[in-house]
Amino acid sequence: MKVRVKVTAGAHREKVVEHDAATFDMYVKEPPQGGMANKRVMRLLAERFGVDIRAVRMETGYQSRNKSFEIRGICCLYAYSYQDYWLRSIR
């Protein structure tokens, strides 16, 4: 499954805005240096989709705010059914 994420690194509060199952805005506390923000985004995506972090692969946007990821081992139907549970757990 392909996922697009717009990342704001160095935010005061962590926040995830989900537009649909494959499009997110993520605000993370980690700074953009050394890939720390990218790693945090990958952890959040793994948690969101209920997969191991090794199943999340960044395809584009290593040094950009706009990133695309591939989540292996799930399909779109699973992502939509898991969406409600995950949104309730982070609030």
Chain segment 6-45, per-residue pLDDT in tens: 999 999 999 999 998 899 999 999 999 999 999 999 999 9
Is residue 85 scored above 60 in pLDDT?
no
pLDDT of residue 81: 53
Rounded distance between C-alpha atoms, residue 13 and residue 7, angstroms: 13
Q: Residue 5: beta bridge partners?
A: 24, 67
Is residue 78 scored above 80 in pLDDT?
no
74: confidence class by pLDDT, cuts 50, 70, 90? confident
pTM: 0.81
